[in-house]
């Protein structure tokens, strides 16, 4: 509806005119009435109406003076003069002030309606033109923003660029780029960002390539928080680039935000990624000097699973994942390494106790469950859940004691680098206390018990014809001379002599 103000010093005229015409039928509504020009001018400043119907002779300020005063500021408003004076000089003055109609009292209703229809048509045409202009300006502004974010501006084009930037009302002391990616259509995201940006008028939304985002002007903390809340509610991701002062360098903030948004694999949904957040999970490449020790994690995880230590298993898996992140592996490298770790752990468990194979295979799990995940935390959780399932179904041993599980571990993994201190850490025991418990239960010190298990398994290998150095390595002694000493300590003869004696008996 187009807004109308009626101005007349006669109450009956004001009220009668308001009720006489079916304004809404012709696209108008009477917002206010005024009894003189001074009062009408105050209403004009507050309401900015589309049409004013004005009497000429009124106290304090007449109609023509009111029209001249408003025309100094507003060239688009429409006026209809309604007067009881058929004075040519008045009519001439009204025409010079670009008045749409000059009606005499008593009012002819049809004449007024004809004028209203004409004015409505003019207003519609004017609004349509303005809308086209606004759309063109927005298109030009959006094009300028896209060009600014896409690549550095050539030095010879800097002055024209600054003029365009200023012409679109984009000047500010500081700028930052926020990019978002959420599980909604590009148009819907753009509409949501537009709504947020319009609240404080301190940001401009844009769409470029597959990204939606906003340019923040100056601090714009309210808008930044609102965008972060939007990302949280939609379970998407957002990233914010560096603050810059020269709009010609805005592409740098965009590129940084884009780079951060490419790291979504490292974070759970609903995360607002900043440079500081990335720094918290990644170390500089120069700080990583050692190779990734896959064997260490395989051995450690197989031991914790066998011991039924869920928390230790989860922490080691997280530690392994953090190592991959610190080395700045991409998503496919991380997935590949975690799949490799999982496969090696399962192979180790089966190798240590082949009787467990059927139980392991009965619990369904496919490595595609790792490759299908969209962020590293979901991968870690999936593998952790799988290992926990194995602990509960296969390796926990129900209510068996800690020492019983240690004995099973030695039986299955005597060839590994088993140390009482390491097992105590995994089991959350003091090593001296755990050693005491072990000795009370078995009558042997931990290392003595381990040595005896190794020697017994070594004797079987010697009987089967393995060479002494091969047996030494297979039962966990890297130094063959050390194996000689241990064997002679417990058997009273050397491994070679034992082998000869067994061969002679056969």
List pLDDT tens digits, range 179-212: 999 999 999 999 999 999 999 999 999 998 888 9
The pLDDT, as a whole number, for residue 409 is: 85
Of the pLDDT bands very low, low, confident and very high (cuts 50, 70, 90), residue 117 is: very high
pLDDT of 267 strictly over 60 = yes
The pLDDT, as a whole number, for residue 272 is: 92
The residues facing 73 across adjacent strands are: none
pLDDT tens string 39-57 = 999 999 999 999 999 998 8
State how far the Cα of 7 lies from the Cα of 125, in Å rounded to an integer.
26
Please tell me whether the overall predicted TM-score, pTM, comes out greater than 0.85 for this model: no
pLDDT tens string 203-238 = 999 998 888 999 999 999 999 999 999 999 999 999
Least confident range of 5-9, 259-263, 388-392, 408-412? 388-392
Across the beta sheet with 237-240, what order do the strands follow?
A: 203-208, 211-217, 175-181, 237-240, 271-273
The pLDDT, as a whole number, for residue 166 is: 95
Considering Cα of 318, then 323, then 328, then 331, what sign does the dihedral take? negative
Is the CATH code 3.30.450.20 the one for domain 167-281?
A: no
| Sequential DSSP letters for 159-220 | HHHHHHHHHTT---S-EEEEEEE-SS-HHHHHHHHHHHHHHHT-EEEEEETTEEEEEEES--
> 5 phi and psi, to 5 degrees?
-120, 130
Of the pLDDT bands very low, low, confident and very high (cuts 50, 70, 90), residue 330 is: confident
Is the CATH code 3.40.50.2300 the one for domain 2-125?
A: yes
The token pair that represents 247 in the structure block: 């709009």
State how far the Cα of 474 lies from the Cα of 110, in Å rounded to an integer.
111
State how far the Cα of 188 lies from the Cα of 174, in Å rounded to an integer.
28
The token pair that represents 232 in the structure block: 């949280």
CA distances from 45 to 39, 123, 159, 381 (A): 10, 19, 38, 63
pLDDT of 120 strictly over 50 = yes
- Give me the helix-helix angle, 331-352 and 294-307, nearest 10°: 50
Of the pLDDT bands very low, low, confident and very high (cuts 50, 70, 90), residue 35 is: very high
Asked whether 353 and 412 are in contact (CB, 8 A), the reply is yes
The pLDDT, as a whole number, for residue 286 is: 42
pLDDT tens string 451-465 = 999 999 999 999 998
State how far the Cα of 44 lies from the Cα of 50, in Å rounded to an integer.
10
CA distances from 334 to 213, 237, 376, 469 (A): 29, 20, 8, 38
pLDDT of 399 strictly over 50 = no
The pLDDT, as a whole number, for residue 285 is: 44
pLDDT of 287 strictly over 70 = no
The pLDDT, as a whole number, for residue 161 is: 96
pLDDT of 23 strictly over 90 = yes
- What share of the chain in percent tops pLDDT 90? 57
The chain-wide mean pLDDT, for the chain, equals: 88
Instruction: Look at 192 and 396; give whichever has higher pLDDT.
Output: 192
Asked whether 115 and 82 are in contact (CB, 8 A), the reply is no
The pLDDT, as a whole number, for residue 91 is: 65
pLDDT tens string 299-319 = 889 888 888 888 889 899 999
State how far the Cα of 22 lies from the Cα of 40, in Å rounded to an integer.
22
| Sequential DSSP letters for 412-467 | HHTTS---HHHHHHHHT--HHHHHHHHHHHHSS-HHHHHHHHHHHHHHHHHHTT--
Asked whether 53 and 82 are in contact (CB, 8 A), the reply is yes
pLDDT tens string 462-490 = 999 899 999 999 999 989 999 999 999 99
The token pair that represents 449 in the structure block: 């018990």
How deeply is 401 buried, as exposed, middle or buried, from its count of CB atoms within 10 A (0-12, 13-18, 19+)? exposed
The pLDDT, as a whole number, for residue 391 is: 79
The token pair that represents 479 in the structure block: 């130094």
pLDDT tens string 142-159 = 999 999 999 899 999 999
CATH class of the structural domain 402-505: mainly alpha
The pLDDT, as a whole number, for residue 10 is: 93
Q: Where are the domains of the chain?
A: 2-125, 167-281, 287-395, 402-505
Least confident range of 100-109, 220-229, 322-331, 427-436? 427-436
The pLDDT, as a whole number, for residue 97 is: 72
The token pair that represents 327 in the structure block: 């080395």
SS3 content of the chain, % helix, strand, coil (to 5): 65, 10, 25
State how far the Cα of 452 lies from the Cα of 469, in Å rounded to an integer.
18
In 3D space, the residue among 200, 204, 157 whose CA is nearest the CA of residue 178 turns out to be 204
State how far the Cα of 127 lies from the Cα of 124, in Å rounded to an integer.
5
The token pair that represents 293 in the structure block: 């020790």
pLDDT of 240 strictly over 70 = yes
State how far the Cα of 407 lies from the Cα of 480, in Å rounded to an integer.
25
pLDDT tens string 73-95 = 999 999 999 888 776 566 667 66
> 169 phi and psi, to 5 degrees?
70, 35
The pLDDT, as a whole number, for residue 78 is: 96
The pLDDT, as a whole number, for residue 299 is: 87
State how far the Cα of 335 lies from the Cα of 373, in Å rounded to an integer.
9
pLDDT of 7 strictly over 90 = yes
State how far the Cα of 414 lies from the Cα of 458, in Å rounded to an integer.
11
State how far the Cα of 346 lies from the Cα of 393, in Å rounded to an integer.
14
| Sequential DSSP letters for 246-287 | -GGGHHHHHHHHHHHHTTGGGS-SSEEE-HHHHHHH---GGG
Q: 313: cis peptide before it, omega within 30°?
A: no
């Amino acid at each position: 509806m187009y807004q109308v103000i009626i101005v007349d010093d006669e109450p009956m005229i004001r009220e009668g005119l308001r009720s006489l015409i079916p304004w809404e039928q012709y696209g108008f509504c009477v917002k206010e009435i005024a009894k003189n020009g001074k009062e009408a001018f105050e209403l004009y400043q507050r309401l900015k109406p589309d049409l004013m119907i004005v009497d000429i002779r009124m106290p304090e300020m007449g109609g023509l003076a009111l029209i001249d005063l408003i025309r100094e500021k507003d060239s688009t408003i429409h006026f209809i003069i309604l007067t009881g004076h058929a004075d040519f000089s008045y009519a001439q003055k009204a025409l010079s002030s670009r008045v749409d109609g000059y009606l005499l009292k008593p009012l002819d209703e049809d004449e007024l309606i004809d004028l209203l229809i004409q004015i409505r048509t003019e207003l519609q045409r004017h609004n349509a033109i303005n809308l086209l202009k606004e759309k063109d300006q927005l298109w030009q502004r959006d094009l300028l923003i896209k060009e600014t974010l896409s690549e550095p501006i050539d030095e010879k084009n800097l002055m024209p660029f600054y003029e365009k930037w200023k012409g679109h009302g984009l000047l500010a002391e500081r700028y930052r780029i926020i990019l978002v990616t959420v599980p909604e259509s590009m148009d819907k995201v753009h509409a949501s960002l537009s709504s947020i940006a319009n609240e404080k008028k301190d940001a401009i939304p844009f769409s470029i390539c597959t990204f939606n985002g906003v340019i923040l002007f100056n601090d714009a903390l309210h808008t930044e928080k609102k965008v972060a809340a939007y990302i949280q509610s939609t379970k998407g991701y957002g990233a914010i680039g560096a603050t810059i002062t020269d709009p010609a360098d805005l592409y740098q903030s965009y590129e940084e935000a884009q780079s951060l948004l490419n790291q979504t694999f490292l974070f759970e949904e609903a995360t607002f990624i900043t440079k500081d957040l990335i720094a918290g999970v990644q170390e500089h490449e120069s700080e990583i000097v050692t190779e990734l020790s896959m064997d260490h994690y395989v051995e450690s995880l197989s031991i914790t699973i066998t011991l039924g230590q869920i928390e230790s298993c989860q922490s080691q898996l997280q530690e392994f994942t953090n190592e991959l992140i610190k080395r700045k592996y991409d998503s496919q490298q991380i997935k590949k390494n975690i799949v490799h770790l999982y496969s090696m752990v399962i192979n180790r468990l089966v190798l240590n106790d082949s009787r467990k194979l059927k139980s392991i295979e009965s619990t369904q799990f496919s490595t595609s469950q790792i490759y299908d995940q969209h962020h590293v935390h979901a991968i870690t959780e999936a593998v952790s859940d799988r290992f926990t399932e194995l602990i509960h179904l296969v390796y926990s041993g129900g209510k068996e004691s800690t020492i019983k599980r240690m004995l099973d571990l030695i039986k299955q993994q005597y060839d590994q680098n088993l140390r009482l201190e390491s097992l105590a850490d995994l089991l959350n025991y003091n090593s001296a206390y755990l050693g005491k418990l072990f000795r009370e239960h078995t009558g042997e010190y931990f290392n003595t018990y381990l040595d005896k298990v190794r020697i017994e398994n070594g004797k079987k290998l010697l009987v089967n014809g393995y060479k002494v150095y091969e047996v030494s390595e297979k039962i966990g002694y890297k130094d063959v001379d050390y194996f000689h000493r241990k064997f002679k300590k417990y058997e009273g003869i050397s491994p070679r002599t034992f082998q000869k004696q067994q061969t002679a008996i056969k």
